[in-house]
Structure 1
Amino acid sequence: MGLLTNRVERSEIRPGDHIYTWRAVFTYSHHGIFVGGSKVVHFTPERNRDSNNGTPSDSYDLVSSIPSTCSTFPDCGFRQPNSGVVLSCLDCFLGKGSLYSFEYGVTPSVFLAKVRGGTCTTATSDPPDAVIHRAMYLLQNGFGNYDVFQNNCEDFALYCKTGLLIVDKSGVGRSGQASSVIGAPLAAILSSPLKLLMPSPVGVATVTAGMYCMSRYATDIGVRTDVIKVAVEELAVNLGWGDVTEEVAEENDASNRQIVRS
């Protein structure tokens, strides 16, 4: 993978990898955790499976663009009621998009060189077994309410890979995409007083670009100070979703193993 693209072939990804694909002509990307067996666990806006609004069976979710039915894998599209965490086959996850691999443990210089957010982080990844365990646990227990800026698909994948949770929920989430969206106007605001000191439009653009990159870097989970390591079994308690009993957790683990093997 180079500075311009993180595109990979299917043969290159391994269980526990954080993968993504671009949507709507590179407008935004959708992220998930590859758990092996051509299956991906990812986070989408919650959909009421019991509702009947006349939408065709092969319709696509607004954000994730994941088809609601799949003829390849019987369990493709599995999710618990009132949960946005979904198990899909790799084909349905990608749709018509290409496959990209999210990078972990990059240097600050490489991070800043990536113009688009949501492609890498300076944070290091946990071992694949821990990553898959978190993803499959959350498939059974949910990841809270979907929020574009606070709790989105990239936030889900980043948590599965690192176990890091943001303490202060009033700010931007872990998502690099959200940081980019918020960082751009922030950079413009911060740089606007400097216009009086710079007669050239090029100078203004340079400062704005610099502010944009630094604001995006400052929100990366690898350098943030407002994050803590939280075990996935304690995630619901930390976020106020309610507690999960040991008995339910054991049943979910057995169900997860069955899903991965099928």
Structure 2
Amino acid sequence: MGLLSNRVTVESLKPGDHIYSWRTAYVYAHHGIYVGDNKVIHFTRGRGQEVGTGTVLDTLLVSSSPKRSDAPCTECNSMLSESHGVVSSCVNCFVAGGALYRFEYAVSPAFFIAKARGGTCTLAVSDPADVVVHRANHLLGHGFRCYNLFKTNCEDFAIYCKTGLLVADQGVVGQSGQAVSIIGGPLAAVLSTPFRLITTNVYGMAVTAVGVYCASRYLADIGNRRDVIKLEVEDLTAGLATGRVHVVEENETQLAMPSPS
């Protein structure tokens, strides 16, 4: 693993690894958990709907959608054209013709900031591999939450499997690294605009915008936030079933926090 690339080979994978594959033009990556025996458990919204914003961004980010066939895969017998929710497939179906990368955990702040592209690493610490695989398998049988690019996407699913952490405030935008990257660039440009009153130097403005972008990524990382809770997977799925964790709108979920004593 290195600063420039997290690319790995299939042979190097171990159960519990959080892996991802960039889609066309490196606009967006699809994330999942490798559980062994050439199988990946991942969270998707189905054909052409992985971005799932319900806005024009779905058209702009459609390149994130994997190449799918209408025929079942001969290796894993899955038919990803009809798949949605938490699904299991072989590694070949998961990468959909792309390269394979491993997501990094417990990186240093300096390393995190140096990896300018979000959705590749986190400050958070991973739980043991057997716990990660258990969470992924449990969610495969019981389901996760409603897919939303900015609040509950495939990266959020994989990070939850690895850490058991969920952001308590579901109104917060940009919980995953790649969501922050999508939002962070334009946001950095907007927030850095007032500095034009101080300097009109184009290089100074560029440095300021990059600084704002890096700061937003760092503060939004799930390993650095204070609005997260550790929730066991059985409690999560039981909460979805009983309404403690419930769907607010079609593309939103809400985590009901215990009342203070």
TM range (shorter): 0.7 to 0.9
Deviation at 1:82, TM superposition (A): 9.1
* 1:33 match: secondary structure: strand
Alignment of 1:51-130 (within 5 A): 63-67=65-69, 69-74=72-77, 76-77=78-79, 84-130=85-131
Amino acid at match of 1:73: C
CA offset digits 1:80-132 (Å, max 9, x no partner): x9951110001111111011000000000000000110000000000001000
Q: For residue 20 of structure 2, what is the aligned residue in structure 1? A: 20
Deviation at 1:181, TM superposition (A): 1.2
Amino acid at match of 1:206: V
The question of whether the paired residues in 2 share the 8 Å contact of 1:20 and 1:101 is answered with yes
* Structure 1 vs Structure 2 CA RMSD: 2.3
Deviation at 1:172, TM superposition (A): 2.3
Q: For residue 177 of structure 1, what is the aligned residue in structure 2? A: 178
* 1:242 match: secondary structure: helix
* Structure 2: gaps spanning 5 or more residues: 48-61, 244-261
CA distance in 2, matches of 1:106, 1:159: 17
Deviation at 1:237, TM superposition (A): 4.5
Deviation at 1:235, TM superposition (A): 0.8
Amino acid at match of 1:100: Y
The question of whether the paired residues in 2 share the 8 Å contact of 1:77 and 1:86 is answered with no
The two structures have a TM-score, normalised by structure 2, of: 0.82
CA offset digits 1:4-40 (Å, max 9, x no partner): 1100111211000000001012111100000000000
The question of whether the paired residues in 1 share the 8 Å contact of 2:40 and 2:91 is answered with yes
Q: For residue 9 of structure 1, what is the aligned residue in structure 2? A: 9
Q: How many residues align?
A: 228
Amino acid at match of 1:199: T
Cα separation, partners in 2 of 1:242 and 1:181, compared to 1, 3 Å: same
1:156 equivalent to 2:157? Answer yes
Deviation at 1:236, TM superposition (A): 3.1
CA distance in 1, matches of 2:216, 2:176: 13
Cα separation, partners in 2 of 1:66 and 1:138, compared to 1, 3 Å: farther
The two structures have a TM-score, normalised by structure 1, of: 0.81
1:198 equivalent to 2:169? Answer no
The question of whether the paired residues in 2 share the 8 Å contact of 1:46 and 1:146 is answered with no
* Structure 1: gaps spanning 5 or more residues: 48-59, 245-262
CA distance in 2, matches of 1:122, 1:62: 25
Which sits farther off after the overlay, 135-144 or 169-178? 169-178
CA offset digits 1:133-180 (Å, max 9, x no partner): 100010011112111111100000000000001100001253100011
The question of whether the paired residues in 2 share the 8 Å contact of 1:132 and 1:160 is answered with yes
Deviation at 1:73, TM superposition (A): 2.2
Q: For residue 167 of structure 1, what is the aligned residue in structure 2? A: 168
Q: For residue 242 of structure 1, what is the aligned residue in structure 2? A: 241
The question of whether the paired residues in 1 share the 8 Å contact of 2:125 and 2:163 is answered with yes
Percent identity over paired residues: 52
The question of whether the paired residues in 2 share the 8 Å contact of 1:44 and 1:64 is answered with no
The question of whether the paired residues in 2 share the 8 Å contact of 1:137 and 1:232 is answered with yes
Cα separation, partners in 2 of 1:14 and 1:165, compared to 1, 3 Å: same
Alignment of 1:129-148 (within 5 A): 129-148=130-149
